[in-house]
Structure 1
């Protein structure tokens, strides 16, 4: 498990693109206590469905997806079948990866991300299909040329083999440039009320030790177009302040922290400081005064408080823990998309899997 975590943490997590549909896959071998196959779907940076080989079913992760499943159970059964079929495709691919890279023993992890994104401003749509193998970029599909591109010497033979599969490459191009954008629009229309909502955060002041910086921690907010900062007497300050990044929560909301070193702040001046949470496009801010009596700690006076709804102290490593959980449980992808003929187009993922894997029923 430790090796798997280290490999996955080598990759970057992409920033949320509002109009995007991404499908993630991971197939592993030699990794104990971990599903050997994981598939997940993400819409606009929000996990909407998850499947793994232990569960053997596709689990909706948002209420509107669950309602869709109840309205059309056949479609959901088809998606479950597709998840199972795609495992065989990945199994065949990882077999060739091992063969051509002369790595047949030990731990092996193949990751794939495919999908499409639409720029909010230009409305330009880009599509992508790329693979990682054992913690490294391996190979990616070039939409324009219908060829495979790699800078990894271990993938050269795989590139040559896949370049010759012109029919399959034509199917992939059509799926990524036509079917995926249509699906993205359909899902965004179904999820419009959910994605357009604004959920305010729960804000807490946290401190690990009496000499540690005070952390202003906001969690449970949506969307991620937000910022947070410290100010004194109504003016934003930057000295002794460290801003954190926005991270996903497992339920599709977000969290954000900003630290301030208070070691040089006299006790009588504490109430001059405040933490401000600000949603983009929203006038009303959430303001939290720097007050010792409300700081959550791990070191004494607040241990016996009965308010269980507010979070206890979050260690400095919380961001790493969240990242690991997202990767292993939520199906977060392994790389950021870095670069922007079969004429019969499949009209669904079901038809796509049948075209690429016709022997599996």
Structure 2
């Protein structure tokens, strides 16, 4: 059974370290997410990897394209990464990751369990607060259940599934392995995060003001009000509405969802009697705005930040 960690550690060592960036008072995180499928559906990759800076996916790799590529606005950041080298390393990581998945499947197959479609997932990363490490994690899941995780205080891998006992024994057969994993979480990952922030931190610190469209759909008995808010960043936002001067409650307040371009969107709805004639207003509060934005029904408005 191959091990995933040596490839990860080699990757970060190749990147090298950089001088810290002054990000006092801010929290930043770097997270990698992997997914491997034993029997992918037609058109789906068997392996894919995505890296996130805070809530922003900044590069993606999968087994179909075999190419690590920056996403969205990150493609405009110069010097962020050597993407050719990153593609080669992700390809090596894919091979080892899938060997691990197959070994887990073999473990359960030997015990008479179904060798159908299975999923293996990995997630690891670190967080900086005031440019100092404030958190780190490294864990794996199999078919939606916890499989194994690294405890950097021991340091050791902690099995959370019967098959993970074998995984732990094989990984820790290399005497230096737990110490290297600990070094990755406490030193290499923060160093990499500082490097990325040096080149692209402004994308995480930006504030994009929301666009708002407050509309209605009228039928004889009721009017459905919709307040669509989009193109904003960061994602924290508050929506409210009033009828005249009286505050009202939304019947439906949707989740804040990524728009695919590095910004967010959300939708709130309410039903009111069609005969109401008092004006309706949608109010939006966001960190990009000097004061709450108010939009009248059936009017679109672009705010001044």
TM (normalized to structure 2)?
A: 0.77
The alpha-carbon deviation at position 177 of structure 1 amounts to: 1.0
The answer for the alignment partner of 1:29 in structure 2 is 38
TM (normalized to structure 1)?
A: 0.66
Q: CA RMSD in A?
A: 2.8
The answer for the alignment partner of 1:254 in structure 2 is 264
User: How many angstroms apart in 1 are the aligned matches of 2:77 and 2:216?
Assistant: 41
Deviates more, 1:281-290 or 1:136-145: 281-290
After superposition, the C-alpha distances for 1:1-39 in whole angstroms (9 at most, x for unaligned) are xxxxxxxxxxxxxxxx95100111111121222011111
The answer for the alignment partner of 1:217 in structure 2 is 228
The answer for the alignment partner of 1:316 in structure 2 is none
The alpha-carbon deviation at position 209 of structure 1 amounts to: 7.8
After superposition, the C-alpha distances for 1:115-171 in whole angstroms (9 at most, x for unaligned) are 112347x95521111112122222211111122224434434333443444422222
The answer for the alignment partner of 2:64 in structure 1 is 54
Secondary structure of the residue that 1:268 maps to in structure 2?
Answer: coil
The answer for the alignment partner of 1:126 in structure 2 is 135
Q: Do structure 1's residue 105 and structure 2's residue 112 form an aligned pair?
A: no
User: How many angstroms apart in 2 are the aligned matches of 1:141 and 1:176?
Assistant: 10
The answer for the alignment partner of 1:319 in structure 2 is none
Matches within 5 A, 1:103-252: 103=113, 105-119=115-129, 125-205=134-214, 210=219, 211=222, 213-238=224-249, 240-252=250-262
Higher-strand-fraction structure: 2
The answer for the alignment partner of 1:95 in structure 2 is 102
User: How many angstroms apart in 1 are the aligned matches of 2:185 and 2:171?
Assistant: 17
Tell me if the contact between 2:215 and 2:297 (Cα under 8 Å) persists in the aligned partners.
no
| Contiguous gaps of at least 5 residues in structure 2 | 1-25, 301-305
Distance 1:60 1:267, change over 3 A: same
The alpha-carbon deviation at position 202 of structure 1 amounts to: 2.6
After superposition, the C-alpha distances for 1:314-349 in whole angstroms (9 at most, x for unaligned) are xxxxxxxxxxxxxxxxxxxxxxxxxxxxxxxxxxxx
Task: Give aligned pairs, total.
Answer: 269
| Contiguous gaps of at least 5 residues in structure 1 | 1-16, 296-361
Higher-helix-fraction structure: 1
Secondary structure of the residue that 2:64 maps to in structure 1?
Answer: coil
The alpha-carbon deviation at position 112 of structure 1 amounts to: 0.9
Tell me if the contact between 2:157 and 2:178 (Cα under 8 Å) persists in the aligned partners.
no
Tell me if the contact between 1:244 and 1:256 (Cα under 8 Å) persists in the aligned partners.
yes
